[in-house]
Chains A and B, each alone.
Chain A
């Protein structure tokens, strides 16, 4: 029942937050100095043609009216039309979303699979050589500009050594499939050459994206484990003669991971933000490059569409994290 109340309370905030987000982005994206209508119409258009186009796009009406129209369309799944690709934004984004999901998920898996064990180990062997090496790596991960890291990886592994492709997502035709995630579609279609090719293309962007997230995760896990190791219940378990491996794997990890799970929500934000820049560096055909291109070309519908997606994903992920927490940590259910 508590759980249901929590979910309902969160859902109640979901809509106003999303509408607020829309309003902010809407204002920002419509106050552009360059007239998007003139840009679309081209240099040869007469003033009368520009005005006709403006009416056709609904940009002659007042901002509040435009906003209500936009939100109304959104409720029907209509995000407007891109001024440049002239395709519906929802279609554009949907066709690009798998690329971003694949990249983000791989980066997430890499950072969790590497970050959590590293954090645990460096806490258990505190102040060892390994701990110091890990600390240098994590401090670097939080200080490095990801676009620069991406370029340096391209320079070394793609241009000089030739071990990985420079950019893009795949060479040749994409594998037949339903998910749009090449790493899943290719094996399903039995196309192992495409699988290997997709994996090679993923290596550098995923590493670039995973690095800062990994650093964050290592720090939190390490701090969490250290915190729990000093608590009374661990002292008690030690005194009772429980084997260290049982204490670590059964008791310490479970308590320490609560803060790490909270971090995975934030992690997603870091990854989503990182994807915008990383995708640009690697010409990755995801929604990040789409957002940057839309912003640079004053394609306000594209900007709005991306914001809605990114915001909604972020809010949903945090909701899921909150719910997951109540399962891991019984204390959360009481408050």
Chain B
């Protein structure tokens, strides 16, 4: 069986990982087929003041918002933004973090110390705070949110990769490859990287959940993409002044965030169990 097939087969046997995978696939389907699945696709931009704050019913499955737009349809389009933020932010953090971690892990000396100290600095402040500061500095927009999240998440990758690379260096096969005269580049790319792929993948999955949560918090504080973008966090902030009457307005996007993050967390746990049998299911929001 191929490597990927093996991983998928093992994942399918783990009930909670399977639930996670299904949740993520559902999210991706919502994002890709949003125009088809939406009952009122035009509502992302159009206003219908007469339909304002209608409770859930047959016409509007999840009710309408303060502009009279269909909340269900807007949530579907919001899934696109969520996936976009998560993928780009985690992708960029992964690139930077893995590179920094490899350099710091492979070389011993001042460069290594410097890289790890810099990542410690970023880890010394709650991520939300630094992300808020960066997002506010650059101004509320989608690219700036992504930038703020990438700038604050890469140290998590750097840490994992650093620890794994250091551990690998003591392995006989790495020492002997180096003794045979392999260049550092060849050693790292061909021998070290494939062996530390598992923790990187696990961290990426958990990072998606974490990044999406932080992005929602930024949106909630008004630092996300500006209206009329149907971003989930901002929708919750908008809904606050219509509580307690229009409860569906605030409840629906929060549930969407919850299910999405849960999907990535469950998948991350499952991947950890499958890819790394040494570590059993453990860990929390900030754990590698």
**A residues at B contact (CB < 8 Å):** 13, 16-18, 20-21, 24-25, 28-29, 31-33, 135, 139-140, 142-149, 151-152, 154-155, 159-160, 212, 215-217, 219-220, 222-224, 226-227, 263, 266, 269-270, 272-273, 276-277, 280, 291-292, 295-296, 298, 303, 306-307, 310-311, 314-315
A273–B128 touching, CB < 8 Å? yes
B284 at the interface (CB under 8 A from A): yes
Report if A277-B128 is in contact (Cβ < 8 Å); known contacts: A32-B137, A142-B285, A145-B233: yes
Chain B residues near A280: list those with CB within 8 A: 221
Total count of chain B residues near the partner, CB < 8 A: 52
Interface positions of B (Cβ within 8 A of A): 16, 117-118, 120-122, 124-130, 132-134, 136-139, 209, 213, 216-217, 220-222, 233, 236, 240, 243-244, 247, 250-251, 253-254, 257-259, 261-262, 265-266, 280-287
Instruction: Quote the shortest CB–CB distance from B123 to chain A (angstroms).
Output: 8
* In-complex Cβ contact of A20 among B117, B139, B222 (8 A): B117
Please tell me which one of the listed residues B127, B254, B262 contacts residue A151 in the complex, with CB atoms under 8 A apart.
B254
Report the minimum CB–CB distance from B205 to chain A (whole Å).
13
| Selected contact of A24 from candidates B122, B221, B285, B287, CB within 8 Å | B122
Q: Output the least CB separation between B262 and chain A (Å).
A: 4
Which of B16, B213, B258, B284 makes the CB contact (< 8 A) with A140? B258
CB < 8 Å neighbour of B250 from A146, A148, A291: A148
Q: Kindly identify which residue among A220, A222, A307 contacts B129, using a CB–CB cutoff of 8 Å.
A: A307
What are some 9 contacts across the A-B interface (CB < 8 A)? A13-B117, A29-B133, A33-B139, A139-B16, A148-B257, A151-B254, A310-B125, A310-B129, A314-B125
Closest B residue by C-beta to A273: B126
Residues of B within 8 A of A314 (CB): 124-126
Residues of A within 8 A of B126 (CB): 269, 272-273, 276, 310, 314
* B23 to chain A: closest residue by CB: A143
Bound CA–CA A277/B258 (angstroms): 16
User: In whole angstroms, what is the CA distance A290 to B282 when docked?
Assistant: 35
B261 neighbours in A (Cβ, 8 Å): 142-145
Chain B's nearest CB lies how many Å from the CB of A42?
21
User: Which A residues touch B240, using CB under 8 A?
Assistant: 151
Q: In the complex, which residues of chain B have a beta carbon less than 8 angstroms from the beta carbon of A143? A: 209, 213, 258-259, 261-262, 265
A contact residues around B128 at 8 Å (CB): 273, 276-277
A326 to chain B minimum Cβ distance, whole angstroms, is 20
Task: Please give, as numbers and ranges, the residues of chain A lying within 8 Å of B127 by CB-CB distance.
Answer: 273
**Residues in B neighbouring A310, C-beta threshold 8 A:** 125-126, 129
B283–A223 touching, CB < 8 Å: yes
- Given contacts A28-B133, A142-B285, is CB(A21)–CB(B262) below 8 Å? no
Across-interface contacts of B257 in A (CB, < 8 A): 145, 148
Q: Which of B213, B244, B280 makes the CB contact (< 8 A) with A226? A: B280
